[in-house]
Chain A
């Protein structure tokens, strides 16, 4: 079974501070990993996916197969980054339907 764990329900930082939202997964095969974001009063939307290896809005995420992690990072947080962040996993050989973590609420204070 595939499982996604986001250990922090809430992460509170000040503007300009580094941010790391943790995501650990449990899956025996080769996972496809995503970060989705939901800003206030907006719909859930894709932020980035690991195979793209891109930086979106200054966020990056590296897949660490040894530690089975896919943490989301940003060197300098902005107030507009305040949102709910969900890590999701799809698995080849298992269910390709994304399994979501419970989410981490990021609050960036001015």
Chain B
């Protein structure tokens, strides 16, 4: 049973560029959440997708956008990259966007902005 998979594993971009990160949820899961984890910090919620719609959003600017496809996979897009966007981006899937639904995490994509 494949767990949550994310691609790429590492990425280096230049300030001002745009980036797309990809996530395939655990088999049977229909909800995808994205988190940003800066060094030494806990994961910070970016947004959650369910039924191809953004259901909840954290305190992140509009430069961060996403998409969910009919097969439940998801993309995270970040425009006009800033140095401060350098972080580990985690995708987590769950069964339904319900309270208490445990998250299953991927290994993350390490984004470095130079």
Is A74 in the interface zone, CB < 8 Å from B?
Answer: no
In angstroms, Cα B98 to Cα A92, docked, is 10
DSSP majority for the B interface? loop
Q: Is there an interface contact between A97 and B98, defined as CB atoms closer than 8 Å?
A: no
Q: Is there an interface contact between A97 and B58, defined as CB atoms closer than 8 Å?
A: yes
- Of the candidates B35, B100, B107, which one forms a contact with A49 in the assembled complex, judged by CB atoms under 8 Å apart? B100
In angstroms, Cα B42 to Cα A6, docked, is 10
The interface size bin for chain B is 20 to 34
Q: Is there an interface contact between A99 and B45, defined as CB atoms closer than 8 Å?
A: yes
Is A86 in the interface zone, CB < 8 Å from B?
Answer: yes
Which residues on B sit within 8 Å (CB–CB) of A44?
43, 90, 105
Q: Is there an interface contact between A51 and B100, defined as CB atoms closer than 8 Å?
A: yes
Shortest distance in angstroms between B39's beta carbon and chain A's nearest beta carbon? 11
Is A28 in the interface zone, CB < 8 Å from B?
Answer: no
